[in-house]
Every structure is written in C-alpha cells, then in structure tokens.
Amino acid sequence: MTSERDTILRVRDLSVDIPVPSGTLHAVRNVDLSAIRGRTLAIVGESGCGKTMTALAVMRLLPGRARLRAREIGLEGTDLRSLSDKAFSAIRGNRMAMIFQDPMTSLNPVYPIGDQLEEIHIRHRGSGRREARERAEYLLARVGIVNPGTRLRQFPHQLSGGLRQRIMIAMALMCDPALIVADEPTTALDVTVQAQVLHLLKDLQAEFDMALILITHDLGIVARIADRIAVMYAGRIVETGSSRQIFAAPTHPYTQGLIDCIPYPGKTERRTALGSIPGIVPSLVGDAPGCMFRNRCAMAEERCRDGGNVERSVEDGHSYRCVHPVERLRGTMVPS
Amino acid sequence: MSEASAIASPTVPVLECDRVTRLFRVKRGLFETPVALRAVDDVSFAVHGGEVLAIVGESGCGKTTLARMLLGLLPPSSGSIRFAGRPMEGVGRSEIAARVQPVFQDPYSSLNPRKTLGQIVGLPLAVHRIGTEDERRARIAEIMELVGLPPHLVHAYPNQLSGGQRQRVAIARALAIQPAIVVFDEPTSALDVSVQAQILNLLMELRRTLELTYIFISHDLAVVEHIADRVAVMYLGRLVELGDTGRIFEDPRHPYTETLLRSILTPDPALGLPPGPFDGEFPDPLAPPSGCRFHPRCPKAMEHCGATAPEARTDSSGLVECHLYNGKSHDR
Amino acid sequence: MAGGLFANEFRADAPGPGEIMRRRGRSHVGFLAGTGFVLLVVLLAVFAPWVSPSDPFTQNLDARLIDPFWAKGGDWAHPLGTDSLGRDYLTRILFGARISLTIGFGAAIISGLVGSTVGIIGGYFGGRVDAVVMYLINVKLALPGILIALSLVSVFGGSLIALIAILGFLFWDRFAVVTRSVTQQIRGQEFVTAAHAVGASHTRILLREILPNVTSHIIVIASLEMAIAILVEAVLSFLGLGIQPPTPSWGLLISEGRNFMFFKPWLIALPGLALFFLVIAINLMGDGIRDITVPEGRGR
C-alpha cells in the first residue's frame, strides 16, 4: 500500500458545470482521483466523457464560463482550491505540468524552442540564463534529441511532430515536477513514433520519480502503460481499478463493451463482427438522475433510471458504479 | 504482364497498378528551385474482385496520393492503372466514378453542411441522371436503410448528426451508384472506439451482401488485421511488402513491417510496452535516403543497403523489397 | 423497454441550419432594428405615389420655402414644408428614397455578380486562372475609383442606368477578394473531393456545392456595398454629376438646399438624416446577417 506521503495529487468530489443556452452542462460529476509517486493513472473514455475537463480543472485551465466545485484538490499537501491565480501559476509548470495532444498549438511559433524552455526555468527557479540553458540542453539530450544545442535555436515549425512532442515533454520536465498530466500525448503521432514517445514517458517517470496522469481513448496504450485506470462515461468515473483488474475482470457494462469493441490481433477472430455499443452518448445538459449509460446498456431496467450511481466494490481497489451486483454482471456479460 | 499480377488469380483483376509513379514539384523557399517529391514511386499491385486490400504505412508514405490516383482524381506521372484490364485513360470520368467511390476520414468536412442527407446521398444519382425522381427517392431510402440510417433523417442536415452517423452518410453516398470498388481513407480514425466498431461491422456486412471490393487505407494495424484479406505496406512512396493478412502478421518479412507490427499495442496489461528499437526519425521525403529507403532506421541493415536499392521480389507468399530476400544473403 | 431507452439514439430533433439561423435572427437586436428600418424605407419607396401627400414635380411658386409642421409658420398641408420651387418636401424625400434604393440594389447586384463570379472561379480553379483573377483585382485596387466614376459620369451622363452600371463596376473587387478566399477554403474540404469522385462537372460543383456555402458571405458584402453605393450616388448628385434635376435624389436635394443653408437648415438636414439612417440601418442589417450565418460549430 502507498503511504500518505506518496500521494502527489488527491481530488475528491470534483464537478465541472458549464452554462449553455439550454441549461447547465455537467461536464464532470463527482470525480475522485489520486495520483501516486512513480505510478501512472490512466483516465480512459470516449470524446465528451469529461476526461480532458477533469485534467483542465486540476490545472486550473478551464474555459472562462466553466464552474468548478470540489471538496478537495490537494497537490503535495497544498490545497489548490484556496490559492490565488498568482500563487497557482507559481505551481503550474513547476510542481505540476501538462502535455497536450497537439504540441504545435502549445509552442509559440515566433520564439526559438530554447527561449521557451529556458523561460520556464528562469521564472520558477529564478535561475540565470546560463543555468537554464544547461538544464534545457540536458533534458533535450535526455528525451533523445541529437545535437540539442542546434535544436534549441530552431523554431517549432522546423521540427517534425514527434520531435515537437519530445520537446513538450522536456518542457514539462524543466522544473522537475512531481506530477505530469498528459492529454492524448501520442494521438497525433504515427504508430512507431507513438511507441518511442511512450517509452520515453515511462523511462522518465521512473528516473524522476513522478506521478503521471495519462488521458487517452486508446485502451491499448492504457493496458501497456497504466498502473491504475479510471474509466469515464458521460462525466462520471464508472469503474476504477488496477490495470490487471480492469482488463482481466471488467465489471461495468460500459468497460466490458469498450474492451469488446477493439479488434485484438491474434484473439478476435478475423472478419467476425466486433462487439459494439449501440447508440450514442446522452446529452449532458440538465439534471440526470440515475445511470447515464442506461440508454445503451443491454442490462438496463427500470431501477437504473434513478438508482444507477451507487458505487460498489468488487475487491480491494476495484469498484464500479452500477445497480447490478458483480455476479449478475459477470454471469451475463463475459461469456468468453 | 506486371510483377504484381504474377501472384494474381487467373481471372482479370478488377483494378491493377502497373509501375505507378506520382511526382509533385515542391518549392521549399521563395527563391529556391522546385524539387521533385516522389510521393508514389514505381508501385505495382493488383486488386481482385471481392477482396479487402489494406494499404498501411505512416504519414508521408504516399498512401493517400495512391488513393487519389485510384479514384481517378489525380493522373499518375508515369505507369498505368487498369480497370478490369482497360487502361484508365481510356475509361471516361463518369465511368470511373461508377466503378470506384471514396469514403474519407473526416466525417465533418466530407459532407456539405448546406445539403440535406437526401441531397447528399442522392448526389451520385443526380449527377449520373439515374432514374426518375420517384425512383431516386426510393433508392435513397433503400440505401439509407442499408447503412442503418432511419428514413426520417432524409431531410436532416449534417450538423444534426453525430460523427458515426455522418460516416454512415458518407458510406451511403459512396454506395448509391453501386460501385464495384470502395476506397476507404482512414474511415474510422476520427471516430470513438465504440462507434468505430459499429462502422467496421457495417463495412464487413456490406461487403458480404453487396459483394464489394475494398481498398482500405489505415494506420491502425489492429483494424487492418481484423478486416483485410491482403496487406500492402508502403514506406516513403515504395511498396515494400505485400501479402496475405495472416502471413504478414504471423511472419512479416520486411524489417519495416516487423517494426510496424511491433508497435501495435494490444490491450494486454501483462505485456508492457513493446521492446525497441524504434530509433530514428522519419526521413525527409524530399531527400530520401540512398539505396534502400529504410536503411537508416533498419535494425537489420547491411553494408550495401545504403548503396544499392533492393529489387522487389515476388513469390508464392507475396512481394517483398529488401536485400535480405534478394538471394544475396539469408536465403529463405 | 429498449425502444424507450434508445429514444435519443438519433438526434434529428436538433435544429437544422435554417432553424438555427431563424433562432439567432429572432434574438439579434441590431439585425431586427436594421432590417425593420430598411423594410420600412423600401415599403415607403415602393408605395410613394400612394402615401405621399402630393406630386414631387408640381411646383407652386406661391408656397415656396414653407417651414415643416413643428416650426412657426408650418402647417400639416406640407408636413415637411416645401422647397424653393414650392414642391412638397416630404413627397420629394419619399421619391428620393426610390432613387437611392434602386441605385443601391442595382449597384450591389451588378458588382456582386461580377465580383463573386470572378472570385469563385479564381478560388476554385487556382493556378493560372487565379493568377489572372488576382491581377484583375490588383489593377482594380490600384485605380482611383472615385476619379474614374466622376469622369465616366461626365462622359455618359447621369442617367439612372448609367449610374448603376458605373457604380456596379466600381465595387466588384471586395466581392472578388472575399469569395475567392472563402472558395479556397471550401475547395479543400472532402465533400468537394467526393463530388469530383462521383463524376460531377465543375459547373455543378461550383453552383451546387460551393455557391451555397459562399452565399451568406456574398449577402453580407452586398449589404455593405449597397450602403456605400447609396452614399456615392448622393455625392455624385450633390456635385451635379449624378441624377439630374428635377428628379428628386437625396444628394440633389442637399445640393439644392445649399443656397438656403443659413435660413432653412432643414432643407439640408432632412435628406441628410434620411441618408444617415438608411445607411446605418443597412450596415446593422449586414452585421446581423454575418452574426446569424456564422457556421455552426463542430460540437453537438
């Protein structure tokens, strides 16, 4: 078990509401999370499930209209909710950093890479230009970039997508953060480059002893890299557990459906129908008591309408939100 | 007779590429002379009726350019494309359209936002003046039902639909004119996984019921493995390997194919990240490496790989373009 | 049970593009006010012979320069007074609206047709065609437009038809610039490629696929160009180069009122205000159309 000291981030009861013309959009509802030193937490889900909003809420980067509620957002013992914007920006980029899907939009096109990396170190650490440059060169070499000195003088458009994503990772590491949040870091990359970048993230995490929150829709990545997994659907975490628990014994019907959806070379019989989840995600606008998955769920029944969000535990560290007991879910849904 | 057709069945292929090359003139700076980019370089293969041929490779490998040539939207710089044995130049624009239809990646930009679904699906019928108005309406209803769109959506606009539904509309438009071949360019990569499965199931079912031939361009090898009969692997404009799906996935021959297969991440937590190496950056397509284009990244590169380009070799298990199989060493 | 639970699988209950625009239009104050005023002026102009108190050309030298009803000496027989030849001023202004609107619409339609055709063709075909289009636009931008208009009017005279034609050919460049760049964006979209792959002709793609996506831009520019054309006509008429007396044009009314500016300022103020409010209303309407027709986002 992990001690209190190793829990880098603890989020309790986080909700994000966004006012829209037709009411209130509940982007995130009552989410609990914790990120442990040296471990990877993966938040998985499809578009619109609230995984990115959760990350942005933690980083205080939500769009202006969004409203955040939480009982606790604690980073290394500091309650982030009580910090002023100024105090918060001393932490963001320093103790915790974020890596985005599209590195092109998060790098400034008119400044050389080097200036952008060094500025972070100078701002947060109060270091001199020289010290910052040394740190930048070290990290660029560390993320596998040959002749870092030259690269530091280049501009973002002169680099390939894979290189830019490595630079984003180096940028996140400039101040030796305790937590890195990576939002679909490899989605825009080719498969071989994706493998390189994931290796890099994993190695650096071990080297710098960081907590990593990985946000992705790709179950393959999650299975290979995550220690713990939180499956989100329509703003809620519907199932959470260790990587082994989730993939060996998926319990929530949505998790089971998601795993059945992806072809698995060597296991799924070729050219047979894949499992699929009928229908589409319901509207997140307005109050929705009950289970949000019920309109797509094969097991839906009347009581799912209002009582669907009880959290039940399968075993230690593995829980799900569904009215049906484990025996029933396993009995009907996992024949294979 | 092209090399690729040597492995073809005795019947005439529905579509055939014979040493197809496409160059683009690219200007790097304002005052520099344009450089020739060989987007597709000397590619030959045949597509047989009823099969699913997947074309895989990373961005910049030329698969989208190849698709545009197969659709007749872009003429090859040299080489020829044949439909059922007839050279494409002799086949009229509208006949090509009646034989090959595309489905694109982005379900948002592939549908005209100002048109109703009925108008979008009916476009091929209107262009080719097929049937009376009533017959067209019936055909549109029929095709929409076929792809799983409820009939009342015929008056809806694209902005009223989800990504998966839009992709169904794009499929319906492609099928309205009853083509023999459908070219899919990354048809599911913009969709959520649960929707991707719905669309893949639909594609497999449509192929069975309508006896279609698919050319399926994708970077998602797990999807390719599931749906394709044969796989063509492209690297920097070259066709480097071609063979049956089962053989390619169990016994890849080209080192690039091996690298690609190793990078598939199956959802198995016991496996961890695949072992390397995945070294090297994708080279600049404007200045491709000498000799074998893959040699700077190739774990099995030999001395002469950088000097001479390997020749494509075709045998019973397909085509491969690698010095390992040129009989000079490592004879299999 | 499944039927009810799957109720939201297909969301055709979401509004279509037409419905979205109607909803936006109904709550856009500027658009409603501008369009309302423009419609009012159009109606008054169309029905001028019936709504105006007398004839715009009938002179009455006994009743010259009568003040409007609110001033001392004014009366309701001539609500806005009379001009220096004793013609009813309200009637002259109402008939003047006909001239302004005809010129505005006419010039906007001609310049819209010319400019949009040139712009869409250049943007769609690209390459050499586009180079020619860009050359034409650059030549047009380099020419001193007003100066050429002045000289053409002095050559061809100030008939209504001549003015419309001259103003129409004066203003096409903005249509060309905007439609060209919009077409370039649309051309790259996959639905255009799909139409090519279906075997559709260039004409069909231009008219049926691209044009519907450019129309809202054309309407927005047309409204702005209309306002400018109305102003330029007033200037030309004021200078004596446009509409010739006794036809009532607002520019001409201002010009005629000049001599009495210090004694009867309303002779200038009334047509001036009419011009001012009409131009503002048209601009409000144009801005409104732009806000209403911005494309719906990708979101659901």
pLDDT at B7 over 50: no
Q: From the CA of C2, how many Å to the nearest CA of chain A? A: 8
Q: A79: part of which helix (H) or strand (E)?
A: strand A78-79
Q: What is the mean pLDDT of residues C3-27?
A: 63
Q: Kindly list the residues from chain B whose CB atom is less than 8 angstroms away from the CB atom of residue A160.
A: 281-282
Q: Within its chain, how far is the Cα of C11 from the centroid?
A: 39
pLDDT at B278 over 80: no
Cis peptide before A63 (omega within 30 of 0): no
Which of A31-45, A80-94, A151-165 is the least confident region?
Answer: A151-165
Q: From the CA of A123, how many Å to the nearest CA of chain B? A: 32
Inter-chain touch B110–C198, beta carbons under 8 Å: no
Q: What is the DSSP string of B63-102?
A: HHHHHHHHTTSS--SEEEEEETTEEGGGS-HHHHHHHEEE
Residues from B contacting C (CB-CB < 8 Å) are 71-73, 93-94, 96-98, 100-102, 104-106, 108-115, 120, 123-124, 127-128, 150, 152-153, 156-157, 159-162, 165, 170, 173, 177
Rounded Cα distance between C49 and C44, Å, is 9
C3: closest chain A residue by CA? A295
Using pLDDT thresholds of 50, 70 and 90, give the confidence band for residue B184.
very high
Using pLDDT thresholds of 50, 70 and 90, give the confidence band for residue B327.
low
Outline where chain A has alpha helix (H). Answer: 51-58, 85-91, 103-106, 113-125, 129-142, 148-152, 161-173, 191-208, 219-225, 243-248, 253-261, 304-307, 326-333
A19 and A131 housed in the same domain: no
Using pLDDT thresholds of 50, 70 and 90, give the confidence band for residue C10.
very low
pLDDT at C13 over 70: no
Q: Kindly list the residues from chain C whose CB atom is less than 8 angstroms away from the CB atom of residue A279.
A: 6, 8-9
Question: Chain C contact for A280, CB < 8 A?
Answer: yes
Domain ranges, residue A117: 105-174
Q: What is the mean pLDDT of residues B89-114?
A: 90
Which residues contact residue C139 at a Cβ distance below 8 angstroms, ignoring those fewer than 6 apart? none
C189: closest chain B residue by CA? B109
Q: From the CA of A50, how many Å to the nearest CA of chain C? A: 14
A150 and A10 housed in the same domain: no
A314 and A227 housed in the same domain: yes
pLDDT at C8: 36
Question: Chain C contact for A290, CB < 8 A?
Answer: no
Rounded Cα distance between A57 and A50, Å, is 10
Does residue C2 lie within any of the structural domains?
no
Q: What is the mean pLDDT of residues C55-70?
A: 78
Evaluate whether A169 touches A197 at the Cβ level (below 8 Å): yes
Q: What is the mean pLDDT of residues C54-59?
A: 80
Q: From the CA of B315, how many Å to the nearest CA of chain A? A: 25
Q: Which chains touch C (3 or more CB pairs under 8 A)?
A: A, B
Name the domain boundary from A157, A174, A191.
Answer: A174
Inter-chain touch A261–B249, beta carbons under 8 Å: no
pLDDT at B122 over 90: yes
Q: Kindly list the residues from chain C whose CB atom is less than 8 angstroms away from the CB atom of residue A282.
A: 8
Rounded Cα distance between A152 and A166, Å, is 13
A256 and A115 housed in the same domain: no
Give tens-digit pLDDT for C191-200: 999 999 999 9
Residue type, C146: I
Q: From the CA of B92, how many Å to the nearest CA of chain A? A: 35
pLDDT at A310 over 60: yes
Q: Within its chain, how far is the Cα of A202 from the centroid?
A: 15
Sign of the dihedral defined by the CA atoms of residues A151, A155, A160, A162, in that order: positive
pLDDT at C295: 67
Inter-chain touch B201–A276, beta carbons under 8 Å: yes
Give tens-digit pLDDT for C92-142: 888 888 888 999 999 999 999 999 999 999 999 998 999 999 999 999 888
pLDDT at B292 over 70: yes
Give tens-digit pLDDT for C68-104: 777 777 777 777 777 777 788 888 888 888 888 999 9
Domain ranges, residue B194: 4-325
C24: closest chain A residue by CA? A21
- The shortest CB-CB distance from B193 to any of A160, A163, A217 is to A217
Give tens-digit pLDDT for A39-95: 999 999 988 899 999 999 999 999 888 999 999 999 998 999 999 999 999 999 899
Does residue C94 lie within any of the structural domains?
yes
Q: From the CA of C6, how many Å to the nearest CA of chain A? A: 5
Does residue B330 lie within any of the structural domains?
no
- The shortest CB-CB distance from C295 to any of B102, B111, B113 is to B113
A83 and A231 housed in the same domain: yes
Report the candidate in A57, A234, B144, A56 with the shortest Cα–Cα distance to residue C12.
B144
Does residue B331 lie within any of the structural domains?
no
CATH code: domain of residue C91:
1.10.3720.10
A75 and A143 housed in the same domain: no
Using pLDDT thresholds of 50, 70 and 90, give the confidence band for residue C33.
very high
Question: Chain A contact for B160, CB < 8 A?
Answer: no
Evaluate whether B124 touches B139 at the Cβ level (below 8 Å): no
Which of residues A206 and B331 earns the better pLDDT score?
A: A206
Residue type, A318: H
Q: Phi and psi of C118, rounded to 5°?
A: -60, -45
Interface test with C, best of B160, B162, B186 (most C CBs within 10 A): B160
Does residue C289 lie within any of the structural domains?
yes
Does residue C93 lie within any of the structural domains?
yes
Inter-chain touch B273–A162, beta carbons under 8 Å: no
- The shortest CB-CB distance from B226 to any of A198, A259, A268 is to A268
Q: How many residues does chain A have?
A: 336
pLDDT at A192: 83
Name the domain boundary from A174, A198, A222.
Answer: A174
Residue A295: strand, helix, or coil:
helix
Q: Kindly list the residues from chain A whose CB atom is less than 8 angstroms away from the CB atom of residue C1.
A: 300-302
Does residue A100 lie within any of the structural domains?
no
Q: Token pair of A10, please?
A: 């603890």
Rounded Cα distance between A276 and A88, Å, is 43
Which residues contact residue A331 at a Cβ distance below 8 angstroms, ignoring those fewer than 6 apart? none
How many percent of chain A have pLDDT more than 70?
96
pLDDT at B6: 40
Name the domain boundary from A174, A197, A229.
Answer: A174
Inter-chain touch A295–C6, beta carbons under 8 Å: yes
Does residue B200 lie within any of the structural domains?
yes
Give tens-digit pLDDT for C139-168: 988 888 778 888 888 888 778 888 898 888
Inter-chain touch A280–C9, beta carbons under 8 Å: yes
Give tens-digit pLDDT for C206-236: 999 999 999 989 999 999 898 888 888 888 8
Kindly report the average pLDDT of chain A as a whole number: 88
Kindly report the average pLDDT of chain C as a whole number: 85
CATH code: domain of residue B79:
3.40.50.300
Question: Chain A contact for C72, CB < 8 A?
Answer: no
Which of residues B146 and C12 earns the better pLDDT score?
A: B146
Q: Domain total for chain B?
A: 1
pLDDT at B192 over 90: no
Domain ranges, residue C112: 18-53+67-293
Q: Domain total for chain A?
A: 2
A227 and A257 housed in the same domain: yes
pLDDT at A1 over 70: no
Does residue A146 lie within any of the structural domains?
yes
Q: Which chains touch A (3 or more CB pairs under 8 A)?
A: B, C
Question: Chain B contact for A336, CB < 8 A?
Answer: no
Residue A251: strand, helix, or coil:
coil
Q: From the CA of B281, how many Å to the nearest CA of chain A? A: 8
Does residue A132 lie within any of the structural domains?
yes
Does residue B233 lie within any of the structural domains?
yes
Burial of C2 (0-12, 13-18, 19+ CB in 10 A): exposed
Q: What is the mean pLDDT of residues C275-282?
A: 92
Q: Domain total for chain C?
A: 1
A197 and A301 housed in the same domain: yes
